[in-house]
Structure 1
Amino acid sequence: MALPVSIKTGLVAAALAVAGLAAAPSMAQPNLAQAVGPTVAEPSSPASAAYRFEQWELDAADGARRYRVQLAVPRRAAPAGGFPVLYMLDGNAAFAALTADQLLALEREGTPPVVVAIGYATNLRFDTTARAYDYTPPVPGPGPTMDSGAHDRPAGGADIFLAFIEQQIKPAVRERVAIDPTRQSLWGHSYGGLFVLHALLRQPASFQRYIAADPSFWWQNGFILQEERQAAAIAPGSCLLVMSGASAGNASNSNNANNANNAKPANAANAANAASAAADQAPPPARAGIDSAAVQRMREARRSVPPETARLFVARQAQRDGLRATWREFEGASHGAMLGLSVGPALQVASSAPGASCTLP
């Protein structure tokens, strides 16, 4: 059985250096109203020397959501077995987080992956209503599943969305580029991370590498932990990487597979990071025009699981036959910042050799 590797980064700057990322602004939550802006797919981007880009749109089966798929394909000839591939949820935001330096480094250093960013047909980075439905699992009970983050949003469409990826998006990608079926990776952040874990637990043959950044364990009072108890058998050679910011509450509970240790601020800089993380963890106060009842529901939802949930989840998953699991903490990183911080590690895992684990330097 594989043991989890628990890696704790000291400062966000160190995490950026390890991941090969440019510094990104820290934020408690992603800016859900932010427009996409320029991306690596711009003709003027240096990334065009290593990758070619295309996109297309398609509708959900029920016509309620329209998807935008952005594809990045290495310009080099495909390996004999096909390229590794990284499927990214919240594709508009994920594609915007990619940098030319990252893609050029992949081209220089190894087998670059195909990147498939699955987003929505909007100029915004996020479609909050669509993602609340697509990325959340169905909860048994009377009536339809509703989003615990906002009770007026339909939820519970994760199985439908996973089938859509398998039946619509993956075939469209394979028509355009040769893919290695043994090196398919799935990345998601927040609700997207919740979807990654749901896919791992329910349909683990869909991908071989699962990468979740600050997944929303708290959703529906920790429903994903109920799904964990009925996890489907997993094929040998699969791996899981869960990355957490300190806003997930893991900093004070960090340990590795064999030796627990209390992660306390060692200096003034770390103390400042810890204070910032604590501020991130606290839900924002009610503001004018904001439903105070919804704010209270969010506070209660986030308190529904212990702060060390991510670390303990990975430790349990590491005991499963066929799965190698890693938990990585980015000390001082807020929930919103984890989207950008996790992209570099996701690319690294996706491009690693066949049979490699989801560990990082």
Structure 2
Amino acid sequence: MFFLGCFATATAAAAAAEVAAPVPGYVLDNTEVREIHAASLKRDYQLYVALPDSYRASERRYPVVFVVDAGYAFPVARGIASRLHRHAGMEEAIVVGLSYAKGDEGVYSRRRDYTPSVPRNGGYRSDMPGRPAAFGEADAYGRFIATEVFPHVAAHYRADMRRKIFVGHSYGSLLGLQVLLTRPNTFEHYILGSPSLWFDRGVMFDREKAYAAAHGDMPASVFFGIGSRETLAPGKQRSRAEEDADMVADLRDFHGALAAHRYRGLATTLKVFADEDHASVFPLVLTHGLRAYLKQK
């Protein structure tokens, strides 16, 4: 009985140890995480970096894809970029994901960092207790990317900083438009999916008009994509409010305004993806947007 008791105790201890042992997480191949302090914003972020398959064995420089909303979008962008190279002959690229601010909830961080203004209609609640809702820092965040993220990437990787691609979706596309309408040559190519052009009563339409009044050129290429289901529900009257927005019509109007102003150096494409909605369309926008810029063998 003594030996049976010892055996039972040992078995139970082993089972408990097995249960308590941490299960390792899945790690994406050829990826790195770098900490970066945004001195201008007084916040800390992370950069998620995916290197091409050939990076370690080559000496060449690669175009760089910068993607916001990195928690979701980085692994998607990494996978699509890799697959386009392996199976469709597209050139390889470094993918850099820009995280939300450390210590912030995702909604709080993206509302603050990606939106171009403080909404005049108000009505937003903060998702972080004890902190007021924050908006309107897209211009400052765009400067952080250009003046702090770019030098960091250039110093640590063989990046071709003459071929930089911005990728954003929804609020992330508002950030891209803010950069495009203030310092368009920050990136050579913009991939903008389902931009929230209803935000702040259509403030980006006003900013495009202001840009056109002061500039005749816009040196960049832009791929716009959106799902065909991102339209106004039947029976509703269209307005520039989130609940009554027709995002497809808004994007067609914005794209038309860019075309009407005939900016020198600007090349744009707009594609509406059939049977896709706001939640499902991003991988298609990214795939077609990369094809529109990266070279094919």
Is 1:213 paired with 2:193? yes
Q: Structure 2: how far apart are the matches of 1:148 and 1:324?
A: 35
1:306 and 1:75 map into 2 onto residues whose CA distance is: 37
Structure 2 residue 236 is matched with structure 1 residue 248: no
Q: Quick one: which amino acid aligns to residue 174 of structure 1? A: A
Aligned AA (1:61): A
* Matching residue within 176, 191, 208 for 1:196: 176
For residue 89 of structure 1, the aligned residue among 68, 73, 77 is 68
Q: For residue 265 of structure 1, what is the aligned residue in structure 2? A: none
Q: Is the 8 A contact 2:170 2:193 kept in 1?
A: yes
Matches within 5 A, 1:19-168: 42=27, 48=29, 52-61=30-39, 65-76=43-54, 77-79=58-60, 82-98=61-77, 100=79, 102-107=81-86, 109-120=89-100, 127-138=106-117, 150-152=124-126, 153-168=133-148
Displacement, 1:305? 6.6
Residue 287 of structure 2: aligned partner: 344
Residue 253 of structure 2, aligned match among 304, 312, 315: 312
For structure 2, the residue ranges without an aligned partner over 5 or more in a row are 1-24, 127-132
More helix by share: 2
Q: Which amino acid in 1 is paired with 2:113?
A: D
Q: Residues 292-319 of structure 1, C-alpha deviation per residue, up to 9 Å, x if partnerless?
A: xxxxxx9943436775120121133233
Letter in 1 for 2:98: I
Structure scoring higher RCO (CA < 8 A, sep ≥ 6) equals 1
CA 1:147/1:208 → structure 2, altered by over 3 Å: closer, same or farther?
farther
- Seen in structure 2, the aligned counterparts of structure 1 residues 331 and 304 have a Cα distance that, compared at 3 Å, is closer
Q: Which residue of 2 aligns with 1:273?
A: none
Q: Deviations over 1:221-248 (max 9, x none)?
A: 1000000012255454x21111111233
When residues 223 and 173 of structure 1 are mapped into structure 2, their CA distance, relative to the original with a 3 A threshold, is same
Kept in 2, the 8 Å contact 1:222–1:305? The answer is no
The structural deviation recorded for 1:249 is 2.1
Are 1:230 and 2:189 matched, yes or no?
no
Q: 1-side partners of 2:202 and 2:245: how far apart?
A: 7
SS in 1 for 2:99: strand
Q: Quick one: which amino acid aligns to residue 147 of structure 2? A: Q
TM-score, structure 2 normalization? 0.74
Give the Cα–Cα distance (whole angstroms) in 2 for the partners of residues 103 and 215 of structure 1: 25
TM-score, with structure 1 as normaliser: 0.62
**Max radius of gyration: which structure?**
2
Task: State the identity %.
Answer: 25
3-state SS of paired residue (2:275): coil
Structure 1 residue 345: Cα displacement? 2.4
What residue in structure 1 maps to residue 16 of structure 2?
none
Give the 3-state SS of the residue equivalent to 2:153 in structure 1. Answer: helix
Q: What are the within-5 Å matches in structure 2 for residues 233-312 of structure 1?
A: 233-236=216-219, 238-249=220-231, 278=233, 300-303=241-244, 307-312=248-253
Note if contact 1:137-1:158 (Cα within 8 Å) is conserved in structure 2: yes
Contact 2:117/2:200 (<8 A) preserved? no
**1:178-189 to 2 correspondences below 5 Å:** 178-189=158-169
Quote the Cα distance in structure 1 between the aligned partners of 2:79 and 2:247. 38
DSSP-derived class of the 2:146 partner: helix
Q: Secondary structure at the match of 1:120?
A: coil
Cα deviation, 1:319-347, whole Å, max 9, x if unaligned, reads 32211111100122111112333232233
SS of 2:263's equivalent?
coil
2:223 counterpart letter in structure 1: L
Coordinate RMSD, CA, aligned: 3.3
The 3 A distance-change label for structure 1 pair 84 and 130 is same
Aligned position for 2:271 = 328
